[in-house]
Amino acid sequence: MAQKPTIPKGTRDFLPIEVAKRNYIFDTIKTTFQKYGFAPIETPSFELSSTLMGKYGEEGDRLIFRILNSGEKVKKADLKALEENNLPRFANSLSEKALRYDLTVPFARFVVQHQNDLSFPFKRYQIQPVWRADRPQHGRYQEFYQCDADVVGSESLLYEVDFIQLFDEVLSELKIPDFTIYINNRKILSGIAEVTGEQSNLIPITVAIDKLDKIGKDGVINELKEKGISVSAIERIQPLFDLSGDAMEKLEKMRDFLSESEIGLQGISELQKVLGDSHRLGLKNAKLEFDVTLARGLNYYTGAIFEVKVNGVKMGSICGGGRYDDLTGLFGLKDMPGVGISFGADRIYDVLTTLDLFPKQLENDLTVLFANFGEEEESFCLPLLKKLREANISSEIYPSAAKMKKQFKYADDRRAAFVIIIGASEMENQKVTVKEMKTGEQTSVAISELISFISLH
Protein backbone atom coordinates (compact mmCIF):
# COMPACT_ATOMS: atom_id res chain seq x y z
CA MET A 1 0.00 0.00 0.00
CA ALA A 2 1.33 3.39 -0.99
CA GLN A 3 2.05 5.72 1.88
CA LYS A 4 -0.08 8.80 2.12
CA PRO A 5 1.81 11.75 0.67
CA THR A 6 2.27 14.88 2.74
CA ILE A 7 4.21 18.11 2.56
CA PRO A 8 6.62 19.30 5.25
CA LYS A 9 5.42 21.14 8.30
CA GLY A 10 4.51 24.76 7.76
CA THR A 11 4.40 24.56 3.96
CA ARG A 12 1.45 24.77 1.60
CA ASP A 13 0.27 23.69 -1.82
CA PHE A 14 -1.71 26.18 -3.85
CA LEU A 15 -4.60 25.16 -6.08
CA PRO A 16 -5.07 26.96 -9.41
CA ILE A 17 -7.74 29.24 -7.97
CA GLU A 18 -5.49 30.08 -5.05
CA VAL A 19 -2.58 30.88 -7.33
CA ALA A 20 -4.87 33.12 -9.38
CA LYS A 21 -5.87 35.00 -6.24
CA ARG A 22 -2.33 35.27 -4.97
CA ASN A 23 -1.12 36.52 -8.32
CA TYR A 24 -3.85 39.12 -8.30
CA ILE A 25 -2.36 40.47 -5.07
CA PHE A 26 1.25 40.18 -6.23
CA ASP A 27 0.49 41.80 -9.58
CA THR A 28 -1.25 44.72 -7.93
CA ILE A 29 1.70 45.26 -5.63
CA LYS A 30 4.25 44.91 -8.44
CA THR A 31 2.45 47.30 -10.74
CA THR A 32 2.31 49.93 -8.03
CA PHE A 33 5.90 49.44 -6.96
CA GLN A 34 6.94 49.99 -10.55
CA LYS A 35 4.75 53.04 -10.85
CA TYR A 36 6.62 54.55 -7.91
CA GLY A 37 9.98 53.89 -9.52
CA PHE A 38 11.08 50.68 -7.83
CA ALA A 39 12.87 48.08 -9.94
CA PRO A 40 12.70 44.36 -9.20
CA ILE A 41 15.75 42.41 -8.10
CA GLU A 42 16.18 38.82 -7.03
CA THR A 43 18.64 37.19 -4.67
CA PRO A 44 19.38 33.49 -4.11
CA SER A 45 17.06 31.40 -1.98
CA PHE A 46 20.06 30.52 0.18
CA GLU A 47 22.98 32.59 1.37
CA LEU A 48 26.23 31.83 3.15
CA SER A 49 25.45 31.19 6.78
CA SER A 50 27.87 33.92 7.74
CA THR A 51 25.74 36.44 5.83
CA LEU A 52 22.65 35.64 7.87
CA MET A 53 23.81 34.43 11.26
CA GLY A 54 23.85 37.06 13.98
CA LYS A 55 21.76 39.54 12.01
CA TYR A 56 18.42 38.74 13.63
CA GLY A 57 19.40 38.36 17.24
CA GLU A 58 19.71 35.14 19.16
CA GLU A 59 16.09 34.24 18.57
CA GLY A 60 16.49 34.81 14.86
CA ASP A 61 19.53 32.55 14.60
CA ARG A 62 17.52 29.73 16.04
CA LEU A 63 14.86 30.16 13.36
CA ILE A 64 17.22 30.13 10.39
CA PHE A 65 17.01 26.96 8.30
CA ARG A 66 20.51 25.59 7.90
CA ILE A 67 21.55 23.59 4.86
CA LEU A 68 23.54 20.50 5.69
CA ASN A 69 26.95 20.18 4.03
CA SER A 70 27.03 17.42 1.48
CA GLY A 71 29.66 15.21 -0.11
CA GLU A 72 33.20 15.46 1.20
CA LYS A 73 32.27 18.48 3.24
CA VAL A 74 30.59 16.34 5.88
CA LYS A 75 34.13 15.55 6.99
CA LYS A 76 34.39 19.09 8.30
CA ALA A 77 32.11 18.17 11.18
CA ASP A 78 33.69 19.42 14.38
CA LEU A 79 33.28 16.36 16.59
CA LYS A 80 35.28 17.96 19.32
CA ALA A 81 32.72 20.73 19.60
CA LEU A 82 30.04 18.04 19.88
CA GLU A 83 31.94 16.32 22.70
CA GLU A 84 32.26 19.63 24.47
CA ASN A 85 28.52 20.13 24.00
CA ASN A 86 29.17 23.32 22.05
CA LEU A 87 26.16 22.82 19.82
CA PRO A 88 26.20 26.14 17.94
CA ARG A 89 29.80 25.56 16.95
CA PHE A 90 29.05 21.97 15.98
CA ALA A 91 26.10 23.14 13.88
CA ASN A 92 28.31 25.68 12.13
CA SER A 93 30.78 22.99 11.22
CA LEU A 94 28.01 20.98 9.55
CA SER A 95 26.54 23.81 7.53
CA GLU A 96 27.95 26.63 5.45
CA LYS A 97 24.71 27.75 3.82
CA ALA A 98 21.27 28.74 5.05
CA LEU A 99 17.87 29.55 3.57
CA ARG A 100 16.94 33.20 3.25
CA TYR A 101 15.24 34.36 6.47
CA ASP A 102 13.99 37.69 5.14
CA LEU A 103 14.62 39.94 2.15
CA THR A 104 16.20 42.85 3.97
CA VAL A 105 19.52 41.39 5.05
CA PRO A 106 20.18 39.79 1.64
CA PHE A 107 19.32 43.17 0.16
CA ALA A 108 21.89 44.87 2.36
CA ARG A 109 24.45 42.30 1.22
CA PHE A 110 23.38 42.93 -2.39
CA VAL A 111 23.81 46.69 -2.08
CA VAL A 112 27.27 46.39 -0.59
CA GLN A 113 28.36 43.81 -3.13
CA HIS A 114 27.06 45.73 -6.15
CA GLN A 115 27.57 49.26 -4.88
CA ASN A 116 29.60 50.20 -7.94
CA ASP A 117 26.88 49.05 -10.32
CA LEU A 118 24.07 50.90 -8.57
CA SER A 119 23.19 54.54 -8.59
CA PHE A 120 21.85 56.03 -5.43
CA PRO A 121 19.27 56.54 -4.12
CA PHE A 122 18.72 52.94 -5.15
CA LYS A 123 15.11 51.78 -5.17
CA ARG A 124 14.35 48.11 -5.43
CA TYR A 125 11.44 45.82 -4.85
CA GLN A 126 11.59 42.11 -4.24
CA ILE A 127 8.86 39.49 -4.01
CA GLN A 128 10.29 36.12 -3.07
CA PRO A 129 9.74 33.35 -0.54
CA VAL A 130 11.59 33.28 2.77
CA TRP A 131 11.91 30.44 5.28
CA ARG A 132 11.75 30.32 9.05
CA ALA A 133 12.04 27.29 11.32
CA ASP A 134 9.31 28.75 13.50
CA ARG A 135 6.54 26.69 15.01
CA PRO A 136 3.62 27.02 12.59
CA GLN A 137 0.34 28.54 13.67
CA HIS A 138 -2.69 29.79 11.87
CA GLY A 139 -1.39 32.30 9.31
CA ARG A 140 2.23 31.57 10.19
CA TYR A 141 4.21 29.29 7.96
CA GLN A 142 7.76 28.02 7.56
CA GLU A 143 7.71 29.12 3.94
CA PHE A 144 6.03 32.36 2.97
CA TYR A 145 6.42 35.29 0.61
CA GLN A 146 7.58 38.75 1.45
CA CYS A 147 6.86 41.74 -0.77
CA ASP A 148 9.40 44.42 0.05
CA ALA A 149 10.23 47.80 -1.39
CA ASP A 150 13.21 49.72 -0.07
CA VAL A 151 15.22 52.75 -1.00
CA VAL A 152 18.78 53.14 0.22
CA GLY A 153 21.11 56.06 -0.03
CA SER A 154 18.89 58.93 1.00
CA GLU A 155 17.70 60.47 4.22
CA SER A 156 14.94 62.36 2.48
CA LEU A 157 11.56 62.22 4.16
CA LEU A 158 9.98 62.39 0.71
CA TYR A 159 10.30 58.62 0.67
CA GLU A 160 8.25 58.28 3.83
CA VAL A 161 5.59 60.38 2.13
CA ASP A 162 5.87 58.20 -0.97
CA PHE A 163 5.44 54.99 0.97
CA ILE A 164 2.28 56.27 2.61
CA GLN A 165 0.89 57.06 -0.83
CA LEU A 166 1.98 53.62 -1.98
CA PHE A 167 0.23 51.82 0.89
CA ASP A 168 -2.90 53.78 0.11
CA GLU A 169 -2.74 53.05 -3.58
CA VAL A 170 -2.11 49.30 -3.37
CA LEU A 171 -4.73 48.63 -0.73
CA SER A 172 -7.28 50.88 -2.38
CA GLU A 173 -6.58 49.14 -5.69
CA LEU A 174 -7.34 45.86 -3.91
CA LYS A 175 -10.68 47.45 -2.92
CA ILE A 176 -10.07 47.31 0.81
CA PRO A 177 -12.58 49.87 1.98
CA ASP A 178 -11.30 50.95 5.36
CA PHE A 179 -7.78 50.70 6.71
CA THR A 180 -5.45 52.76 8.83
CA ILE A 181 -1.77 53.53 8.36
CA TYR A 182 -0.18 53.96 11.76
CA ILE A 183 3.03 55.88 11.93
CA ASN A 184 5.52 56.61 14.64
CA ASN A 185 9.19 57.46 14.86
CA ARG A 186 11.91 55.62 16.70
CA LYS A 187 13.44 58.95 17.67
CA ILE A 188 10.31 59.70 19.66
CA LEU A 189 10.71 56.38 21.45
CA SER A 190 14.36 57.20 22.10
CA GLY A 191 13.22 60.54 23.43
CA ILE A 192 10.80 58.85 25.80
CA ALA A 193 13.57 56.62 27.13
CA GLU A 194 15.78 59.69 27.47
CA VAL A 195 13.41 61.97 29.37
CA THR A 196 12.46 59.14 31.72
CA GLY A 197 16.12 58.40 32.43
CA GLU A 198 15.97 54.93 30.91
CA GLN A 199 18.13 55.33 27.81
CA SER A 200 19.77 51.99 28.35
CA ASN A 201 16.41 50.26 28.34
CA LEU A 202 15.14 51.56 25.00
CA ILE A 203 14.61 48.08 23.54
CA PRO A 204 12.67 46.56 26.47
CA ILE A 205 10.55 49.71 26.64
CA THR A 206 9.67 49.65 22.94
CA VAL A 207 8.95 45.92 23.02
CA ALA A 208 6.64 46.40 25.98
CA ILE A 209 4.64 49.40 24.82
CA ASP A 210 4.27 47.87 21.37
CA LYS A 211 2.00 45.31 23.02
CA LEU A 212 -0.48 47.90 24.31
CA ASP A 213 -3.39 46.93 22.08
CA LYS A 214 -2.75 43.27 22.77
CA ILE A 215 -2.19 43.05 26.52
CA GLY A 216 -3.63 46.39 27.63
CA LYS A 217 -2.29 49.14 29.82
CA ASP A 218 -1.87 46.98 32.92
CA GLY A 219 -0.11 44.30 30.92
CA VAL A 220 2.40 46.79 29.58
CA ILE A 221 3.01 48.25 33.02
CA ASN A 222 3.64 44.79 34.42
CA GLU A 223 6.06 43.97 31.66
CA LEU A 224 7.89 47.26 32.22
CA LYS A 225 8.20 46.43 35.91
CA GLU A 226 9.47 42.95 35.13
CA LYS A 227 12.10 44.41 32.84
CA GLY A 228 13.36 46.54 35.71
CA ILE A 229 12.15 49.93 34.53
CA SER A 230 11.99 52.40 37.41
CA VAL A 231 8.63 53.21 38.96
CA SER A 232 9.06 56.92 38.31
CA ALA A 233 9.78 56.26 34.65
CA ILE A 234 6.70 54.07 34.34
CA GLU A 235 4.62 56.81 35.90
CA ARG A 236 5.90 59.28 33.37
CA ILE A 237 5.27 56.94 30.48
CA GLN A 238 1.73 56.03 31.50
CA PRO A 239 -0.10 59.12 30.17
CA LEU A 240 1.16 58.21 26.70
CA PHE A 241 -1.13 55.20 26.66
CA ASP A 242 -4.21 57.33 26.24
CA LEU A 243 -3.21 60.32 24.19
CA SER A 244 -6.23 61.82 22.52
CA GLY A 245 -6.86 64.14 19.62
CA ASP A 246 -5.91 64.03 15.97
CA ALA A 247 -2.41 63.32 14.79
CA MET A 248 -1.24 66.92 14.87
CA GLU A 249 -2.69 67.51 18.34
CA LYS A 250 -1.04 64.39 19.67
CA LEU A 251 2.26 65.52 18.19
CA GLU A 252 1.97 68.84 20.02
CA LYS A 253 1.40 67.02 23.29
CA MET A 254 4.41 64.87 22.59
CA ARG A 255 6.45 67.97 21.85
CA ASP A 256 5.83 69.12 25.43
CA PHE A 257 6.57 65.72 26.82
CA LEU A 258 9.86 65.54 24.94
CA SER A 259 10.92 69.16 25.35
CA GLU A 260 14.11 68.05 27.14
CA SER A 261 15.12 65.54 24.47
CA GLU A 262 16.80 66.76 21.33
CA ILE A 263 16.39 63.47 19.52
CA GLY A 264 12.77 63.23 20.58
CA LEU A 265 12.01 66.67 19.19
CA GLN A 266 13.72 65.72 15.96
CA GLY A 267 11.35 62.75 15.68
CA ILE A 268 8.41 65.10 16.20
CA SER A 269 9.56 67.43 13.44
CA GLU A 270 10.08 64.57 11.02
CA LEU A 271 6.61 63.25 11.67
CA GLN A 272 5.08 66.69 11.27
CA LYS A 273 6.69 67.04 7.89
CA VAL A 274 5.55 63.58 6.73
CA LEU A 275 2.02 63.94 8.07
CA GLY A 276 1.73 67.47 6.73
CA ASP A 277 2.68 66.45 3.20
CA SER A 278 0.44 63.42 3.34
CA HIS A 279 -2.58 65.46 4.36
CA ARG A 280 -1.88 67.97 1.64
CA LEU A 281 -1.69 65.21 -0.99
CA GLY A 282 -4.71 63.39 0.32
CA LEU A 283 -5.39 59.68 0.55
CA LYS A 284 -7.93 57.47 -1.20
CA ASN A 285 -9.16 55.00 1.39
CA ALA A 286 -6.48 55.16 4.05
CA LYS A 287 -6.74 56.85 7.39
CA LEU A 288 -3.43 58.08 8.73
CA GLU A 289 -2.71 58.07 12.43
CA PHE A 290 0.15 58.85 14.74
CA ASP A 291 0.48 56.12 17.34
CA VAL A 292 3.16 56.72 19.94
CA THR A 293 2.91 53.12 21.14
CA LEU A 294 3.78 51.70 17.74
CA ALA A 295 7.27 50.27 18.03
CA ARG A 296 7.69 47.08 15.94
CA GLY A 297 10.06 44.46 17.15
CA LEU A 298 12.81 45.01 14.63
CA ASN A 299 15.53 46.92 16.36
CA TYR A 300 17.36 48.12 13.27
CA TYR A 301 14.70 50.79 12.75
CA THR A 302 15.93 54.28 13.64
CA GLY A 303 13.38 56.71 12.18
CA ALA A 304 9.85 56.38 10.87
CA ILE A 305 7.92 53.21 11.67
CA PHE A 306 4.83 52.12 9.73
CA GLU A 307 2.12 49.61 10.28
CA VAL A 308 -1.16 49.11 8.44
CA LYS A 309 -4.28 47.51 9.83
CA VAL A 310 -7.62 46.81 8.24
CA ASN A 311 -10.50 48.24 10.23
CA GLY A 312 -13.37 45.98 11.14
CA VAL A 313 -11.38 42.78 10.58
CA LYS A 314 -9.91 40.87 13.47
CA MET A 315 -6.37 40.52 12.25
CA GLY A 316 -2.91 41.83 12.96
CA SER A 317 -1.13 44.29 10.72
CA ILE A 318 -1.05 43.54 6.99
CA CYS A 319 1.89 45.82 6.16
CA GLY A 320 4.85 47.25 7.97
CA GLY A 321 8.01 49.17 7.44
CA GLY A 322 10.39 51.79 8.67
CA ARG A 323 13.62 53.70 8.31
CA TYR A 324 17.02 52.35 9.25
CA ASP A 325 20.17 54.45 9.32
CA ASP A 326 22.75 51.78 8.96
CA LEU A 327 21.74 48.47 7.53
CA THR A 328 24.76 47.98 5.30
CA GLY A 329 27.25 48.85 8.02
CA LEU A 330 27.37 45.20 9.00
CA PHE A 331 28.74 44.43 5.57
CA GLY A 332 31.24 47.26 5.63
CA LEU A 333 29.42 50.05 3.84
CA LYS A 334 28.88 53.08 6.05
CA ASP A 335 26.52 56.02 5.70
CA MET A 336 23.89 54.22 3.71
CA PRO A 337 20.53 55.10 5.24
CA GLY A 338 17.43 53.34 4.00
CA VAL A 339 13.70 53.13 4.38
CA GLY A 340 11.44 50.33 3.33
CA ILE A 341 8.07 48.68 3.59
CA SER A 342 6.68 45.20 3.34
CA PHE A 343 3.28 43.81 2.35
CA GLY A 344 2.03 40.71 4.15
CA ALA A 345 0.58 38.88 1.17
CA ASP A 346 -0.85 35.98 3.16
CA ARG A 347 -2.70 38.24 5.53
CA ILE A 348 -3.96 40.40 2.69
CA TYR A 349 -5.22 37.18 1.09
CA ASP A 350 -7.13 36.36 4.27
CA VAL A 351 -8.57 39.86 4.46
CA LEU A 352 -9.77 39.76 0.86
CA THR A 353 -11.30 36.34 1.51
CA THR A 354 -13.03 37.48 4.68
CA LEU A 355 -14.42 40.59 3.03
CA ASP A 356 -15.19 38.73 -0.21
CA LEU A 357 -13.20 41.21 -2.27
CA PHE A 358 -11.55 38.98 -4.86
CA PRO A 359 -12.84 39.71 -8.37
CA LYS A 360 -15.19 36.93 -9.44
CA GLN A 361 -13.46 36.90 -12.80
CA LEU A 362 -10.43 35.18 -11.30
CA GLU A 363 -12.39 31.96 -11.12
CA ASN A 364 -12.88 31.69 -14.88
CA ASP A 365 -9.72 30.14 -16.16
CA LEU A 366 -11.42 28.85 -19.31
CA THR A 367 -13.70 30.78 -21.63
CA VAL A 368 -14.68 28.17 -24.18
CA LEU A 369 -14.89 24.40 -24.21
CA PHE A 370 -15.63 22.60 -27.47
CA ALA A 371 -17.73 19.51 -26.90
CA ASN A 372 -16.31 16.46 -28.64
CA PHE A 373 -18.65 14.32 -30.75
CA GLY A 374 -16.16 12.13 -32.56
CA GLU A 375 -13.37 12.13 -35.11
CA GLU A 376 -15.10 14.04 -37.86
CA GLU A 377 -16.48 16.73 -35.57
CA GLU A 378 -13.14 16.94 -33.81
CA SER A 379 -11.24 17.83 -36.98
CA PHE A 380 -13.95 20.32 -37.82
CA CYS A 381 -13.45 22.01 -34.42
CA LEU A 382 -9.68 22.19 -34.48
CA PRO A 383 -9.33 25.15 -36.89
CA LEU A 384 -12.05 27.01 -34.98
CA LEU A 385 -10.23 26.36 -31.74
CA LYS A 386 -7.08 27.80 -33.24
CA LYS A 387 -8.94 30.90 -34.38
CA LEU A 388 -10.37 31.51 -30.91
CA ARG A 389 -6.94 31.18 -29.41
CA GLU A 390 -5.54 33.59 -31.97
CA ALA A 391 -8.19 36.02 -30.79
CA ASN A 392 -6.85 35.55 -27.25
CA ILE A 393 -9.86 33.61 -26.03
CA SER A 394 -8.78 30.82 -23.71
CA SER A 395 -10.26 27.69 -25.22
CA GLU A 396 -9.89 23.95 -25.37
CA ILE A 397 -11.60 20.92 -26.81
CA TYR A 398 -12.70 17.96 -24.73
CA PRO A 399 -10.14 15.25 -25.42
CA SER A 400 -12.50 12.40 -26.28
CA ALA A 401 -16.04 11.77 -27.44
CA ALA A 402 -17.29 11.05 -23.95
CA LYS A 403 -20.92 11.29 -22.93
CA MET A 404 -22.36 14.79 -23.07
CA LYS A 405 -23.15 14.66 -19.39
CA LYS A 406 -19.53 14.07 -18.59
CA GLN A 407 -18.30 16.79 -20.94
CA PHE A 408 -20.72 19.34 -19.51
CA LYS A 409 -19.82 18.45 -15.99
CA TYR A 410 -16.18 19.01 -16.88
CA ALA A 411 -17.08 22.41 -18.36
CA ASP A 412 -18.95 23.22 -15.19
CA ASP A 413 -16.05 22.19 -12.96
CA ARG A 414 -13.69 24.29 -15.03
CA ARG A 415 -16.17 27.15 -14.82
CA ALA A 416 -16.02 27.53 -18.56
CA ALA A 417 -18.13 30.47 -19.71
CA PHE A 418 -19.26 28.76 -22.93
CA VAL A 419 -19.59 25.31 -24.39
CA ILE A 420 -19.58 25.11 -28.18
CA ILE A 421 -21.51 22.20 -29.59
CA ILE A 422 -20.78 21.02 -33.10
CA GLY A 423 -22.47 17.91 -34.43
CA ALA A 424 -23.61 16.74 -37.84
CA SER A 425 -26.29 19.40 -38.33
CA GLU A 426 -23.99 22.24 -37.26
CA MET A 427 -21.30 21.12 -39.67
CA GLU A 428 -23.81 20.94 -42.44
CA ASN A 429 -25.18 24.45 -41.80
CA GLN A 430 -21.83 26.08 -41.05
CA LYS A 431 -23.32 27.23 -37.76
CA VAL A 432 -22.34 26.32 -34.24
CA THR A 433 -24.42 26.02 -31.10
CA VAL A 434 -23.05 28.15 -28.26
CA LYS A 435 -24.30 27.47 -24.77
CA GLU A 436 -23.73 30.09 -22.12
CA MET A 437 -23.15 28.04 -19.00
CA LYS A 438 -24.25 30.62 -16.50
CA THR A 439 -27.73 31.11 -17.97
CA GLY A 440 -28.09 27.84 -19.84
CA GLU A 441 -29.10 29.81 -22.92
CA GLN A 442 -28.18 28.31 -26.29
CA THR A 443 -27.67 30.31 -29.46
CA SER A 444 -27.01 29.27 -33.00
CA VAL A 445 -24.12 31.36 -34.28
CA ALA A 446 -22.64 31.57 -37.77
CA ILE A 447 -18.98 30.55 -37.78
CA SER A 448 -17.99 33.94 -39.14
CA GLU A 449 -19.70 35.60 -36.15
CA LEU A 450 -18.28 33.27 -33.48
CA ILE A 451 -15.43 35.42 -32.23
CA SER A 452 -17.44 38.58 -31.97
CA PHE A 453 -20.26 36.67 -30.27
CA ILE A 454 -17.89 35.32 -27.60
CA SER A 455 -16.10 38.63 -27.18
CA LEU A 456 -19.30 40.57 -26.68
CA HIS A 457 -20.49 38.34 -23.84
169 touches RNA (CB under 7 A)? no
Q: Which of 36, 122, 125, 141 binds RNA (CB under 7 A)?
A: 141
218 touches RNA (CB under 7 A)? no
66 touches RNA (CB under 7 A)? no
Cα-Cα end-to-end distance for the chain? 50
Kindly give the pairing relationship between strand 66-68 and strand 46-48.
Answer: unpaired
Determine the Cα–Cα distance for residues 370 and 382; give it in Å rounded to an integer: 9
Range in contact with RNA (rule: CB under 7 A) among 85-93, 130-138, 154-162, 259-267 = 130-138
195 touches RNA (CB under 7 A)? no
Nearest one of 110, 118, 130, 136 to 45, comparing CA atoms = 130
Kindly give the pairing relationship between strand 442-446 and strand 431-436.
Answer: antiparallel
Cβ proximity to RNA: between 185 and 342 the closer is 342
Range in contact with RNA (rule: CB under 7 A) among 81-89, 142-150, 177-185, 448-456 = 142-150
Count residues contacting RNA (CB under 7 A)? 61
Cβ proximity to RNA: between 172 and 433 the closer is 433
Range in contact with RNA (rule: CB under 7 A) among 186-194, 285-293, 351-359, 408-416 = 408-416
129 touches RNA (CB under 7 A)? no
Going across the sheet that includes 418-421, the strands are: 395-397, 368-370, 418-421, 431-436, 442-446
Binding mask 18-57 for RNA (x = CB under 7 A): ---------------------------------------x
Binding mask 272-301 for RNA (x = CB under 7 A): ------------------------xxx---
Cβ proximity to RNA: between 195 and 318 the closer is 318
Neighbouring CB atoms inside 10 A of 228's CB total 9
Range in contact with RNA (rule: CB under 7 A) among 64-72, 252-260, 284-292, 425-433 = 425-433
Q: Which of 35, 80, 279, 438 binds RNA (CB under 7 A)?
A: 438
Cβ proximity to RNA: between 67 and 298 the closer is 298
Which parts of this chain interact with RNA (CB under 7 A)? 1, 6, 8-10, 57, 59-60, 62-63, 102, 132, 134-142, 144, 146, 207, 211, 214-215, 296-298, 316-320, 342, 344, 346-347, 403-406, 408-409, 411-413, 419, 421, 423-426, 433, 435, 437-440, 442
